[in-house]
Structure 1
């Protein structure tokens, strides 16, 4: 607790008496300053107890002096009586009372130095107590961080030390990793706008803001924001509290770095084991040693492609993993999962990602299962959806050809007919009717001889015979792409 003007008045050894500003005696004192200037305000920072004997004070200057001291924010004014003035001038008492400025009478036997020493001792004791409290808190936080579930334990310990609610958010700022107490998780939507502000800044960032009746302190963890620590309570945070929060933030940053490094190592191992399995190697014993488990056979291979932030998707998958065995690993620029049908809905329920699913397979057929899932994922990329390999037959040939490649092919094949819309439509209708003249002519509403002439003109422009099945197939494919482009 900071030393207040009331505490100083209560020190009987000093003999101070209150003459004005009784209602403001609980102001904290930051320092003591002595001055006989008519206007000492330019030399003050606020929070001081100003001591004076009124050597240069005149009755007409009392109101101006009080106004200037109030503006600068002094804690109070101590007036030494029995020297320049036998009593505190009535004008000064009136002005101080009107301004709500604590005005203390300092008896002549009490030297100003005694007041300065009393304040200095109190400030030193407060700083020492703050240092001890910070040291104890840091020790307790370090002990919590060293436990089995160190991150969660550290969050709970910080909450108890500060009598505050604490949230630990992921690097994206939108997912809650830990909260203390548990009910504090309900505050996440309220602080979301402030999280976005801090996320938009780079480097080590901290922010303080009000959230309803709560004072909130938030800071990014680490230079590239491995997470966000949010602490709030109904009362303000003292300097010591901020030291404790900073210590917790440092420990959490180290803990998250260790978790991140361990996760990266596990991901590399899983990717390596997947490669071994694709080459027919048995890794069951090693996986059991690492507490990893393959789903029972037959399982499906699932490929997740096109994720904007693959690291974040992997973290979300790991955090939300079902009870059924699932094996996840990175493969190239995709995520590969080996899952049974009981967990398939979980792994295919992620929006914004192209997902391909193989037919059921076993370890011996893993490479073929991966090929099937990759092919299905390429088809799924068109709409960021889920495609099963068994359903590819219903998607048509064009869904298996990259859109840009198909468009380039169509433009090249049909280039000689560019601008010939009548010929293009006649060719499309003739091919759709399997080269039969009468049905095609009837559909177009022309005589069959007119259609024959148009088809001959197409052959002349293309320089190719439409009697060849391969030419007809290429033109039909090109016309389908051309129709989609329109």
Structure 2
């Protein structure tokens, strides 16, 4: 147990006497500090027993502000050494300490300050040793529980008892695997935001949620890019360092247990990648047989291809989130890595396609693109479409971007406004200069002519000029620009220059 003022008062050899009546003496002491400064607060961290002979107070320093500074600094108690300039503790100091609720001790001349320091130091050392010994014992008990029959349940039960709270073991998508006690599983869903954040980070990673009544610690389990689960513990009040060490030990034991399947996971990932390449080569019937042997099935046509861009951690998290959605919708899905991306295949006709729209929200930083509905024979096109949509999403920090949406805003959406304005200014500069001299309304005439698809009669009518005049203007403009305006490419360039996209 931590040493307190009450413990020191119980040591008769120190001869300490409590002078304040209503102050609490049960607060743990962090250390003993000796100071004769009028304001020792800058040198204190809180929880100390401050010892003084009152030199500062003998210089007629008011007692009440002195005591207030000590209380604000978090001092646990004040010891006043008598017989060294002061035969008794100053009455005004006793009153100020009484009013502030600060324990004030009379330290007799026969008790050196060093004796009090040694007593507190020895008690703190014994308490620390006891905490270390208890932690070591609990770690041994956790190890035995991890090796016992019954899976991870004995380990979780022992962990919950050791911290005086509750413990959850969750799978990668946040589903409860073990709960101690069983009722603790009800709070798993409320942790989804933190789980999503940790899932996108390299394991192990942790988070702490501290509230007025409860402290919750979350640790992701794993040693690589794939998060294999989560350990969540909670208890009322703060979680002391010794208990945190116990939680870390439990997380390590659970990680070792889960990492035993890492080799199998790697082999399965390689198999899935190979199957995807067979699908892209048109071998969907062959792959369907293999997938069926694995106890799964390929999605039905028409297919929706989703492609995820992101780090290996983000792609692994996307697999877990997608798998969770697949379980809830009971819709077939196939996933595999392809050239540093994640490809997800599902049927466009199932609710799973809509469920996967939460991927960017659940996996922060990942970019997701989707294809048009395609058949198995068009799978390569679908993957290409999804990749282009995902690249568009990443470049614009968007959510899920559909390939069908890329063409909706028109060509202007993919042109840089600043670069296009510079292009237009450079290309049209000779015509603008000529118009300033009054030599002909070349820019406006070209814009109207192009708007009428190069037809002379309707363009000339709109301009209010003869068609031969319009021909001369267009011919002159072509010579000044150094372009053959009978060519479709030249007309397209000129149209874009005359209608540059607008910036934000």
TM-score category, normalised to shorter length:
0.5 to 0.7
Residue equivalent to 1:304 = 307
TM-superposed deviation, 1:168: 10
Residue equivalent to 2:135 = 134
- Equivalent of residue 346 in structure 1, options 352, 355, 376: 355
- Between the aligned partners of 2:27 and 2:380, the Cα distance in structure 1 is 76
Q: Secondary structure at the match of 1:319?
A: helix
Gap change, CA 1:123 and 1:303, over 3 Å in 2: closer
Residue equivalent to 1:294 = 298
Residue equivalent to 2:455 = 436
Check conservation: 2:5, 2:26, Cα contact below 8 A. yes
Deviations 1:265-287 (A, max 9, x none): 65554333312332345344554
Alignment of 1:449 with 2:468, yes or no, is yes
Check conservation: 1:141, 1:158, Cα contact below 8 A. yes
Gap change, CA 1:299 and 1:417, over 3 Å in 2: farther
Deviations 1:270-306 (A, max 9, x none): 333312332345344554565664213x24242436x
Check conservation: 1:417, 1:423, Cα contact below 8 A. no
- Between the aligned partners of 1:465 and 1:122, the Cα distance in structure 2 is 96
Check conservation: 1:6, 1:25, Cα contact below 8 A. yes
Deviations 1:296-330 (A, max 9, x none): 3x24242436x465742551352243231111223
- Between the aligned partners of 2:76 and 2:273, the Cα distance in structure 1 is 66
Alignment of 1:423 with 2:442, yes or no, is yes
TM-superposed deviation, 1:340: 0.5
Residue equivalent to 1:25 = 25
- Between the aligned partners of 2:429 and 2:114, the Cα distance in structure 1 is 104
Check conservation: 1:348, 1:355, Cα contact below 8 A. no
Gaps of 5+ in 2: 361-365, 436-440
- Between the aligned partners of 1:162 and 1:427, the Cα distance in structure 2 is 81
Compare 113-122 and 246-255 and name the one that shifted more: 113-122
Alignment of 1:240 with 2:247, yes or no, is no
Residue equivalent to 2:438 = none
- Between the aligned partners of 2:446 and 2:461, the Cα distance in structure 1 is 14
Gap change, CA 1:17 and 1:381, over 3 Å in 2: closer
Query: TM-score normalised to the size of structure 2?
Result: 0.59
Gap change, CA 1:154 and 1:433, over 3 Å in 2: farther
Gap change, CA 1:162 and 1:444, over 3 Å in 2: farther
Gap change, CA 1:283 and 1:18, over 3 Å in 2: same
Gaps of 5+ in 1: none
Check conservation: 1:380, 1:387, Cα contact below 8 A. no
Q: Secondary structure at the match of 1:485?
A: coil
Check conservation: 1:46, 1:75, Cα contact below 8 A. no
Gap change, CA 1:378 and 1:312, over 3 Å in 2: closer
Check conservation: 1:304, 1:355, Cα contact below 8 A. yes
- Rg larger in structure: 1
Query: TM-score normalised to the size of structure 1?
Result: 0.61
- Between the aligned partners of 1:382 and 1:206, the Cα distance in structure 2 is 30
* Count of matched residue positions in the alignment of Structure 1 and Structure 2: 447
Compare 126-135 and 220-229 and name the one that shifted more: 220-229
TM-superposed deviation, 1:479: 3.5
Alignment of 1:326 with 2:333, yes or no, is yes
- Equivalent of residue 183 in structure 1, options 173, 187, 194: 187
Match runs of 1:90-169 below 5 Å: 91=89, 99=97, 100-101=102-103, 103=105, 126-127=127-128, 129-139=130-140, 141-142=142-143, 160-163=161-164
